[in-house]
Amino acid sequence: MDDSQATGLAAEESVSPRADFWSSFIWIGLGIAMLWMSLNMDRLERFQASIYTAPGLVPGLLGIAIALMGVILLVRSVNAGALRQRERKPLVLAQHWRLIFSLSLSLVYALIVVASALPFWLVTAVYITIFVIVFQYAERRAKAQVPRGIAVAVVHGLLAGVLIQYVFEELFLVRLP
């Protein structure tokens, strides 16, 4: 990859401090919500369960970590100039195709997992395969490796689908749809 391509990729993938600023509030809110919900979970005291085996422990710790990372993102964005005045650019949805695609595919995945009789591992494998193919397509096409990229995506999708189902059902004893 030459310097012009590297610079183009860096410019395309850079996130504005203002976007980080607003995103930080979402992460802080999500972390606080997770902590609050974990504190309201049943602690299984009637079974003399210790605090370390309470169902809300891990989600609570994750909520604290997410909120803390949101605060760090907030501070970083303010230091990078998120609060400085600047001219507003018009919103061009074509520039945000990755976000729109990710949200759309994830919504379809969730609906299929919940509403269909298809095996969880298969739906997850297809979801991951599509995700990898779409987001690696430009890079694979530039290297003339599209068929190889599709094969790698299928293998990763199948392995991930089977492994995710195994880990959750056999190790964590969580029944998946």
Residue 3 has pLDDT above 60, yes or no: no
Average pLDDT of the residues of the chain? 87
Question: Sorting pLDDT into bands at 50, 70 and 90, what band is 174?
Answer: confident
pLDDT score at 12? 46
Interval 68-90: pLDDT, tens:
999 999 999 999 988 887 767 77
Phi-psi region of 25 (alpha: psi -120 to 50; beta: other; left: phi over 0): alpha
